[in-house]
Amino acid sequence: MSTASRPTPLLIRPDKETFLNEANPFEAMMSRFDYAAQRLSLDPGLYKVLRSPEKQIIVSVPILRDTGDVEVYTGFRVLYNTSRGPAKGGIRFDMNVTLDEVKALAAWMTWKCAVVNIPFGGSKGGVICDPPTLSNAELERITRRYTSAIIETLGPDSDVPAPDMNTNERMMAWIMDTYSMHKRHTVTSVVTGKPVEMGGSLGRREATGRGCMIVTREALKKLRMPIAGTRVAVQGFGNVGSIAAELMEALGLTVVAVSDKSGAIYNPKGLRIKEVQQHVKEHRFLSEYREAESIGNDELLTIDCDVLVPAALENVITSKNARDVKARIICEGANGPTTANADRILEENGIFVIPDILANAGGVTVSYFEWVQDRGGYFWDEETVNQRLERIMVQSFDEVAAMAGKHASSMRIGAYMQAIERVAAVHRLRGMYA
């Protein structure tokens, strides 16, 4: 990309606090929000409203362990903004869950839903716990007790959870059942990401990875890069990363590296993703895979490739390693994988970033489809789901690219501007209740 055609670098406050808080997801998200709001000349009153979460809940989650001991966990639920519709957002179980992280994720969900123009606001939840050390029965008790603790906020018209880190469709079934028992009738639309047998949508499990593939394909078209010969590295081989890798390989891209928490594997001629998936199914981790070279997780981020898909953790591309990223395109399969300080460096180096609030919006889009199907009691076949997802992701990519072009900004700031403009428009129309 020539210097003349590069986007205007993101303006980040050069104060000391910004750099010290690089790992804080809420600060990272808000630095982008602040800059986009400034570029939009957002009304100061609306700026204050959109910068503040509507509701922050902290609950105790006491359960009886299998040993007979009582343990008390801490849970969070944040509703960030519900002006465009019910709040929508996942629930994660992890030892590193914090209120700041949940606030950031709830805000990201708000902007994500607005970017793809579906009628949801944003929320997020989490429980501080260590799932690998808990039995299935203990996980069920935590899930049900947490659900009952936040049940006043939940509902098809108010707040609709979904799976996230270390949660799955079985846990969503427990949430639906707990909520339904309290309401005394079955309410399938209170949660998405459920088993298909109880109102889940076909295509939901693959949706986030499929969305990543679609927007990567559109970015290649925009940059006039060929499909054949384009090399992809995927950080994270969970649901999002493994499906994105599989679908990108099927598209004709060459996946040269993938990783999980045990390490990364690399083959410059291309991995056979189906074989890698089968290995993980049998052995759980990539570390024992012998048909490719073993490399470090950090090395994967800076490996020689054309497309990098960070699809695992937050804050993996930072000011410390951003200058070493060699990819031409970054497709953010995870939430918040790039810090605000790293954004500036990537833009200076002419790297085309498909931001998380666009790149991984396929999941919430098909969650919306699931909610619609549950409420209507009429279910679509998988081809219909995928066709409608394709239409929304392509249109959203084009709209963000147009916004970025109009304001001579990066795709990330273009996405934030698109989202903020849509949420702000609804606030203006609704007015202020007093």
Residues serving a catalytic function are: 124
Burial class (CB in 10 A: 0-12, 13-18, 19+), 368: buried
Q: Are 350 and 1 in contact (CB under 8 A)?
A: yes
3-state secondary structure 381-424: CHHHHHHHHHHHHHHHHHHHHHHHHHCCCCHHHHHHHHHHHHHH
Cα angle: 328, vertex 332, 337; to 5 degrees: 105
In the three-class reduction of DSSP (H, G, I as helix; E, B as strand; rest coil), residue 92 is classed as strand
Q: Measure the CA–CA gap between 124 and 108, rounded to whole angstroms.
A: 9
Is residue 395 left, alpha or beta, with left meaning phi > 0 and alpha meaning psi from -120 to 50? alpha
Residue 67 forms beta bridges with which residues? none
Half-sphere exposure of 10 (CA within 13 A, CB side): 31
CB atoms closer than 10 angstroms to residue 9: 14
DSSP state of 152: T
Identify the residue whose tokens are 């390989």.
249
